[in-house]
Chain A
Amino acid sequence: MDTKYILNIIQNNSHKKGGLITVLEKIQEKYTYLPEKALRLVAKETGQSLTDIYGVATFYKAFSLKPRGKHYLCACLGTACHVRGAQTIVEEFKQQLNIMPGETTPDNEITFETVNCLGACALGPIVVSDKYYLAKVTVRKVKEIILNTKEGKYGSNETSNGHVFPIEAFCPQCNHSLMDNKHHLDGYPSILINFSTDGKRGWARLPSLYGYFTKIYENEILEDTIVSFFCPHCLSVLPDSSDCIECGAPFASMKINNGDGLFKICTRAGCKGHILELIGELL
């Protein structure tokens, strides 16, 4: 257990009103569950009794005291899903995975849960595979869903039906192309820019195929660090006045296809937030 990390979470949140739930949420984000040691540490540091902390940790459904599997499957049991047969889908998952809702498969691959309503009632029965919503699930699809979940197929490029496409990026200041024809990623020239952060600087590379998204840095950067991106040619910062929708960090933007729009990427290391805005969407 990373004591320093948890102490940091406690320090940043426990002075705030209602901080306990946020502290537990952040711990769970990191470990996928609430380890006993972490709860004891929270009690010691905040002065709250372990009983109270245990009470909160067990009262809310979002918290788990057991480690979760690599993948997450969740069947909605809202009323609309129920009248469309969600219960039989849960039964099928139970049988196929050989576990009860709330449990994890012995190979640690899948945690299966049920939820009371996800609010996508028109498309019921709904099943969530990791973060991906599957609509109108039938008993027959359960086997395939489990298989695809294990392979992480949902939401990945394979399910995008070929509607991915390459873009060409330019510096919004000097108009110089940011494409690197010598280094291909996913079969297309990559986008090459520079980054800097406290003490570190180097290049960063992105795939130009829209729909695929990873940021590769020359040096290793701690997750959560916010970096500045800049043009390797004119050295000006890639500016943007809007923020990442995923995490709230500032965006950095590049011009695409000679002015057809902007390609914005999140400046936080580890965040996959990005957006392609066509000129018509902008002001």
Chain B
Amino acid sequence: MDRYMRRLESIETFLEIKSSLMEQYDHQIPTLVIPAGTCGQASGANALIRAAKKELLQKKLTRKIRLRVTGCHGFCAMEPSVLVEPQRTFYPKVTPDDIATIIEAVAHGKTVNRLLFIDLETGQRIEIQDDIPFFKKQTRTIMSRNEKVDPIRIHDYIRNGGYEALAKVLSCQNPQSILEEVKASGLRGRGGAGFSTGQKWQLFASQRNGNDKYIICNADEGDPGAYMDRSILEGNPHGIIEGMTIGAYATGATEGIIYVRTEYPLAIKHLNAAIKQARGLGLLGDNILGTKFSFDINIVKGAGAFVCGEETALIQSIEGHMGEPRQRPPFPIVKGLYGRPTMINNVETWANIPLIINMGGRTFVQIGTEGSSGTKIFSLVGKIKNTGLVEVPMGITIKEVVQGIGGGPSGKVKIKAVQTGGPSGGCIPASRFDLTIDYESLKNVGSIMGSGGMIVMDDNTCMVDVAKYFMNFLKDESCGKCFPCRKGTQRMHEILDDISRGRGSSESLELLEELAMAVKDTAMCGLGQTASNPVLSTLRYFRDEYIEHIEKKHCPAGVCKDLITYFISDRCIGCMLCIKACPEGAITGTKKQQHVIDTSKCIKCGTCKDVCKSEAVQTI
């Protein structure tokens, strides 16, 4: 035990420790893998883990069955789940009471059929995780690491090939060759804009302004609906540390900072533990693995401001000021944090670095398309059956993601659009779903790749409401430094609010479009310049919905409350479910008689519609 805790004084000792860790690990011992990221915990993973420990202790199986608590595996809709190695049996939505049955079966080398995943399409049960369509159609180069390591145990990461890439670059002692690998990989920034990572690194490496050079991991994942960065930070923090350390070695950076949202407490906890462990083993800090190379990483917590994801605002925030962006140039790469050259990359970009070094840039570039190489993790959420994080090669079509992996709509209602790129992105209509996903194609249809949020919307989603939602978000989050963004987002929100309340006029749309273009052309930072995208893209593809709101004072999706009235049709079978469910007591009626909604009491929350089994509650 002690031998593994000692500081690694050379690359050779690291390799020895790694091989001995690998040799010691008996792959035949059955292992229960339980994902417990933030989402796993929210769905009850902690109770599951406790129940598993109780069972293993009471049945005296602690030496026969292993337990591994990991970060998120991606199939969030099925959590809390259990994966049993080495067979890779997948049990979805496991309750603490089921765990005893599973452990009993595992101890006897059996599976519990009744708890296996059911493929809704075929009605068949599927045993092996990799055979489930959700997993089968993905290319999980980054996400697959989450299930292999317990994020609070550095030796798990090392045993699975962790820090091998770092050892490799330290032993070949040629920073330029790393830059060449990253350039050859064709990797582009995963934070949104898609700038070539290799070029950025080369540019940064050539900066000779003074002694201090900073690299930053931008973990201020503010796009609502995107959470792949959280999942990587929580599930595989050492991957980020390794990526950044390699980056520092390649570019001559002296210090690293991870700027992480305060809204991600578990990620912060795991990062802190990981950094401490890496320092302890000599994988971070002075004289890494006994070489002359020194580099350390510190964590800076954000304090809740979306604009801090913009690089110049982020730098302001790290310096302890208000997070207001500033004019570029000078670009941070020349003059950034404390006036020193600073390079900022997104979490997912850093996570790709060890993979590129291990497989070689030329292999990496084979994944994906010519202009957009590698994989991209999307958070597939909203009105979709298989919600979760999906990692796919660039160049896959939206349809394959939404239908093939996502399994189609969550309810009976048809999918209408997907929204990508967060508040800077746009809505892509279902008619364009054969579009291949890469940086350019998404831009061409008026959206952006962004950080990878993919929010699925169905016919019950109102596009005016979506535009209003984003504009409300942006007006709140606008830092207020430049006038076009501060006032423009506010005014656009007012117009959209008017339309959603039936107060729009025929001039509203023209005004909205004009304003959107003006903000796009004149705002100072990237966030302001893209703030109009939600409006412009919904106007482009769903103009008729806007017109219906304005001319007919009608919301076709039944969302804009001022324009709808709930009523119960003659399909009502008089089951009284809605009467019990109504939080306002607005529904009256007796058994087997058609119920009635008192519109003066109705708050239009839609609960009755949700609970009605005969689709009798409708809106006009």
Question: Which residues on A are within 8 Å of B, measured CB to CB?
Answer: 17-22, 24-25, 52, 55-56, 59-63, 77-80, 82-85, 88, 91-92, 95, 115-124, 126, 131, 133-135, 138-140, 142-143, 159-161, 163-165, 167, 210-211, 241, 243, 245-246, 248, 256-257, 260-261, 276, 278-281, 283
Residues of B with C-beta under 8 A to A20: 320-321
- Can you name the residue of chain A whose Cβ is closest to the Cβ of B534? A79
Which DSSP category, helix, strand, loop or mixed, fits chain A's interface? mixed
A117 to B39, CA, bound (A): 13
Known: A25-B303, A84-B382, A165-B57. A122 touches B387 (CB 8 A): yes
Known: A18-B319, A135-B43, A163-B96. A257 touches B57 (CB 8 A): yes
Other-chain contact of A133, B38, B69, B269 (Cβ < 8 Å):
B38
Known: A140-B583, A280-B65. A60 touches B605 (CB 8 A): no
Other-chain contact of A18, B24, B96, B318 (Cβ < 8 Å):
B318
Tell me the minimal C-beta distance from A209 to chain B in angstroms.
11
Give the number of chain B interface residues (Cβ < 8 Å). Answer: 95
Known: A59-B305, A279-B63, A283-B4. A80 touches B606 (CB 8 A): no
Instruction: Determine if A116 and B224 form an interchain contact, defined as CB atoms under 8 angstroms apart.
Output: yes
Chain B 28-59 against A: per-residue CB contact (8 Å), 1 yes, 0 no? 01010000001101110001001101101110
Residues of B with C-beta under 8 A to A167: 57
Instruction: Determine if B320 and A18 form an interchain contact, defined as CB atoms under 8 angstroms apart.
Output: yes
Instruction: Determine if A115 and B42 form an interchain contact, defined as CB atoms under 8 angstroms apart.
Output: no
A82 to B79, CA, bound (A): 21
Other-chain contact of A78, B225, B273, B301 (Cβ < 8 Å):
B225
Residues of B with C-beta under 8 A to A55: 321-322
- Can you name the residue of chain A whose Cβ is closest to the Cβ of B225? A79
Instruction: Determine if B382 and A283 form an interchain contact, defined as CB atoms under 8 angstroms apart.
Output: no
Which DSSP category, helix, strand, loop or mixed, fits chain B's interface? mixed
Instruction: Determine if A121 and B225 form an interchain contact, defined as CB atoms under 8 angstroms apart.
Output: yes
A224 to B395, CA, bound (A): 53
Residues of A with C-beta under 8 A to B68: 281
With A62-B302, A79-B382, A139-B583 given, can you name 20 additional A-B contacts, CB distance below 8 Å? A20-B320, A52-B321, A59-B479, A83-B455, A83-B457, A91-B605, A92-B605, A116-B224, A116-B306, A117-B226, A117-B227, A121-B387, A122-B379, A122-B387, A135-B39, A140-B583, A210-B54, A260-B63, A280-B65, A280-B66
Nearest 9 CB-CB pairings of A with B: A122-B76, A61-B304, A119-B227, A60-B303, A133-B42, A78-B224, A280-B66, A79-B225, A117-B224
Tell me the minimal C-beta distance from A217 to chain B in angstroms.
25
Residues of A with C-beta under 8 A to B304: 60-62, 115
Instruction: Determine if B606 and A85 form an interchain contact, defined as CB atoms under 8 angstroms apart.
Output: yes
Tell me the minimal C-beta distance from B141 to chain A in angstroms.
21
Instruction: Determine if A117 and B222 form an interchain contact, defined as CB atoms under 8 angstroms apart.
Output: yes
- Can you name the residue of chain B whose Cβ is closest to the Cβ of A82? B469
Tell me the minimal C-beta distance from B190 to chain A in angstroms.
16
Other-chain contact of B57, A78, A122, A243, A278 (Cβ < 8 Å):
A278
- Can you name the residue of chain A whose Cβ is closest to the Cβ of B611? A140
Instruction: Determine if A165 and B230 form an interchain contact, defined as CB atoms under 8 angstroms apart.
Output: no
Residues of B with C-beta under 8 A to A84: 382-383
Tell me the minimal C-beta distance from B134 to chain A in angstroms.
12
Instruction: Determine if A115 and B263 form an interchain contact, defined as CB atoms under 8 angstroms apart.
Output: yes
Residue B276 is within 8 A (CB to CB) of chain A in the complex = yes
Residues of B with C-beta under 8 A to A246: 269
Residues of A with C-beta under 8 A to B320: 17-21, 56
A139 to B323, CA, bound (A): 35
- Can you name the residue of chain A whose Cβ is closest to the Cβ of B460? A83
Instruction: Determine if B319 and A79 form an interchain contact, defined as CB atoms under 8 angstroms apart.
Output: no
Instruction: Determine if A163 and B50 form an interchain contact, defined as CB atoms under 8 angstroms apart.
Output: yes
Could you pull out 17 A-B pairs where Cβ atoms are within 8 angstroms? A18-B318, A20-B320, A60-B302, A79-B422, A83-B466, A119-B264, A121-B76, A122-B79, A123-B42, A163-B47, A163-B96, A245-B152, A245-B273, A260-B62, A278-B53, A278-B56, A283-B155
